[in-house]
Structure 1
Amino acid sequence: MLLLHLKFLNKIVLKQIFTSIKLLSCKGKKFYHLIHQLTGYYPSDAHLYRLAFMHKSLMYKGHNGSEINNERLEYLGDAILGAIVAHELFVRYPDKNEGELTKIRSRIVNRINMNQQALRMGLGELVQTQPQTDVAQTHIPGDALEALIGAVYLDKGYKAVTRFIVDRLMNNLDDSESPIQNDTNYKSVLIEWGQKNRCEVHFVTEEYPNKPEGQNSFIAMVYVNNELAGKGFGGSKKEAQQNGACEALSMLVGVEV
């Protein structure tokens, strides 16, 4: 029994040594330092970070037939991101009510901002897809950023991922990009939400019938999976669609905008 136990320990030690050798290879060392540059931490489990950049289009399969991609890490990172941003805003703005805090949080974690932050960090060049696509025009970079958050959490823990999110995502915003100062393009946010959640979003906009003089000229009906999710009025088609998307977001995800 003791001999078997020693053999098991030797296997673990050899595996750790082998992993270290791979890390010290030219390619592994470069990736090791790249993760440190992105997150501020050297990875203990480099596999998690490599997985964070593997898009589902690669169609990789594990030994047990399960898919190998970043979707599970993205799911985890999305939840961690929302919780940490909510807590940080709660501490930073003691004078703001629940609705105001929710509005600010939604502007930080929405797909548009996450994509912008991911591209700024250079994640667009790290994501692996098949076939190779211009990921800058998709939500893929933002998804990879959420997966990266999940990887940092699993590898380094809650305190480390909190520091990463606050330092690299929240404190990194310029004044011109402040979620408190800027209004969100609600239509774009809703469309991004639909893409991520595999929901069809479409707008039906027409002139508002029998409108009083000087009142709103257009009405926009917002449909999600062919069900009415919001309605907006405005002096232009664009304004009506924005107001309709705003109402739809409030109904669908509980975001007060």
Structure 2
Amino acid sequence: MALVPKIFNSRSGQEGEFFNTIKRILGFKPKNITIYEEAFTHRSLNEKNKQGIPQNYERLEFLGDAMLGSVIAAHLFNEVPSGDEGYLTKMRSKVVSREHLNELGRDLQLIKLLKTNIPTKQFGGNIHGNIFEALVGAIYLDRGFKYCEKFIRKRVIKPYVDIERLEGKIISYKSLFIEWCQKNKKSFKYVVYDDTGKDDLKHFAVKLQLENTVVAKARATSKKKAEERASKRAYYKLQVAIEKDLN
């Protein structure tokens, strides 16, 4: 049985609760509410249209990602005329980072609208950003580029895109740590070791070795996340030296 909130009981109605909630989030009136229904449908429901094509948010997520990237790129291009390609690419990556998109999705409480067969507490944090991207894709299909840009400027650029703050924002402590090691010809290694935790979910434990000395440890539900956490701890432990060398 699908875990569908009451908001979906009359979700196709032009003045139903789902319609009004979407209207409030967007700041303007949606024309085709069914596009937004698809943006909040998880693949676990296995819904298909008359042609047998799966109806869930994944294709809209792809489209929304592209629209976000293009609008943010144009904004940065205009706001920072002195920025070269490398600078603009790095700044765009900070704005549309997975962490930031997840934050946007959580702030709007989009997961409350998700139609799924899976309890939402079982989803990882990325579900929030995935739905946010799908919503952006739905706006583009429903109202076109002008309204899509309007939404991105209201919900992303105006409240979150501060050039000076973004310049100092670190999007990957692991990449930063590796860059510092390579610049200073220091050897490093991420070592996975036995995890003795009693969590229900499997965890990975990682040691970060610098010149054969363990400088940080971390554990997480994936090896990648554990390595990033260990790198972050190493960064703050060696922050003075790292910032001196890389700035």
Structure 2 residue aligned with 1:195: none
Matched, 1:144 2:131: yes
1:174–1:166 CA distance, 2 compared to 1 (3 A): closer
Aligned residue pairs, count: 185
- For structure 1, list consecutive stretches of 5 or more residues without a partner in the other structure: 1-20, 190-204, 209-213, 222-231, 246-257
Matched, 1:116 2:75: no
Structure 2 residue aligned with 1:93: 80
Which one of 184, 188, 195 corresponds to residue 218 of structure 1?
Answer: 188
**RMSD, aligned α-carbons:** 3.4
Hey, what's the Cα distance between the residues in 2 that align with 1:36 and 1:177? 33
- The percent of aligned pairs where both chains have the same amino acid is 35
Hey, what's the Cα distance between the residues in 1 that align with 2:210 and 2:160? 31
Q: Of the two structures, which has the highest relative contact order with CA contacts closer than 8 Å and spacing of 6 or more?
A: 2
Hey, what's the Cα distance between the residues in 2 that align with 1:135 and 1:179? 31
Q: CA offsets, 1:116-142, max 9 Å, x none?
A: 111011112112222222266331111
Equivalent residues of 1:104, 1:180 under 8 A apart: yes
1:115–1:167 CA distance, 2 compared to 1 (3 A): same
Structure 2 residue aligned with 1:18: none
Hey, what's the Cα distance between the residues in 1 that align with 2:151 and 2:67? 12
Hey, what's the Cα distance between the residues in 1 that align with 2:157 and 2:133? 14
Give the structure with higher Rg (CA): 1
Hey, what's the Cα distance between the residues in 1 that align with 2:161 and 2:85? 24
Structure 2 residue aligned with 1:23: 14
Hey, what's the Cα distance between the residues in 2 that align with 1:220 and 1:22? 54
Structure-2-length-normalised TM-score: 0.65
- CA shift, 1:22, in A, is 2.9
Which one of 50, 59, 62 corresponds to residue 63 of structure 1?
Answer: 50
1:129–1:178 CA distance, 2 compared to 1 (3 A): farther
Structure 1 residue aligned with 2:63: 76
Task: Give 3-state SS (helix, strand or coil) of 1:169's partner.
Answer: helix
Structure 2 residue aligned with 1:34: 21
- CA shift, 1:81, in A, is 1.0
Q: CA offsets, 1:179-224, max 9 Å, x none?
A: 323111355x9xxxxxxxxxxxxxxx9xx9xxxxx97352359xxx
**Residue identity opposite 2:13 in structure 1:** K
